[in-house]
Amino acid sequence: MQTVIVKASDGHCDVDGIKQAANILRSGGLVAFPTETVYGLGADGLNGQAVRKIFAAKGRPADNPLILHIFDLKQLEEIAAAVPDCAQRLIDKFWPGPLTLILPRGDRVPDAVTAGLDTVGVRMPDNDIALAFLAACKVPVAAPSANVSGRPSPTSALDVMDDLGGRVDCIIDGGKCSVGIESTVLDVTRPTPVVLRPGAATVEDIRSVVGEVAIDPCADGIDDCATSTPARSPGVKYRHYAPIAPLVLFEGDPKARLVELSRRIEKLVAEGKTVGVAVVSESLPYLPSGNGERLVVRDMGSALDPSRIAATLFSVLRAMDRDKVDIILVEGIHDTGVGFAVMNRLRRAAGGAVVRCS
Per-residue pLDDT tens digits for 146-198:
999 999 999 999 999 999 999 999 999 999 999 999 999 999 999 999 999 99
pLDDT at 100 over 90: yes
Q: Which of 208, 219, 39, 182 is nearest to 98 (CA)?
A: 182
What pLDDT does 225 receive? 63
Q: How many CB atoms lie within 10 A of CB 274?
A: 18
Give how far Cα 44 sits from Cα of 21, 40, 86, 127, 263, Å: 12, 13, 28, 19, 51
**What is 4-220's CATH superfamily?**
DHBP synthase (3.90.870.10)
Which residue type occupies 227? T
Query: 130: Cβ–Cβ under 8 A, 6 or more apart, which residues?
Result: 33, 34, 35, 36, 40, 69, 174
- Measuring CA to CA, which residue among 4, 11, 13, 66 is closest to residue 41? 66
Question: Considering the chain, what is the average pLDDT of its residues?
Answer: 94
d(CA 142, CA 139): 9
What are the domain boundaries of the chain?
A: 4-220, 247-357
Strand, coil or helix: what is 79?
A: helix
The C-alpha torsion from 32 through 35 and 39 to 45, rounded to 10°, is: -50
**Looking at domain 247-357, does it have CATH number 3.40.50.11030?**
yes
**Edge-to-edge strand list for the sheet holding 295-299:** 295-299, 275-279, 327-331, 247-252, 354-357
pTM: 0.95
CB 65 within 8 A of CB 112: no
Least confident of 37-46, 157-166, 292-301: 292-301
**Residues 29, 31: Cα–Cα separation, whole Å:** 7
